[in-house]
Amino acid sequence: MALLTRAQIDAAEDRIYEDVEVPEWKGTVRLLALSGTERDAYEASMVRVGTTGKVAGVNLLDASARLLAKCIVDEDFQRLYTDKEVQALGARNGKVIKRLYGQAQKLSGLGKQAAEDAAGNSEAAPSGSSTSD
């Protein structure tokens, strides 16, 4: 397989999405996978830093709604909820939020299963060429 150029990488349409039926809301929502930058920001938002500058804990407050606010988009792939509207989304049916959260995690490569998959993939990945004998 040929090496990609930067132009080819930049032109790749690699953001995946899924339309999910939500009977409780009488319709369908579109979930768009996070970009690398969005994923890093979401993961960073989960960390609570103490006064010493070291990690002091995990911030789980509205974690599901925070992810969904970044992933729920309209047909033009524009977010339906801003970061300031997370609580409005989080106020919806918890069972629905949990179900959509699970789908958004899968699409974005987040969560325990994604970590296990990544660990499994990294062990099985070919090592490529080596300069040592």
Per-domain boundaries in the chain: 29-117
Domain 29-117, classified CATH 3.30.2220, yes or no: yes
Average pLDDT score over the chain = 86
Report whether 59 contacts 45 (CB < 8 A): yes
Residue 8's pLDDT band, with cuts at 50, 70 and 90, is very high
Asked if residue 75 has pLDDT above 80, the reply is yes
* Residue 68: partners with Cβ closer than 8 Å, 6 or more residues away: 31, 81, 89, 97, 100, 101, 104
Q: pTM for the complete prediction?
A: 0.78
Q: What is the pLDDT of residue 120?
A: 53
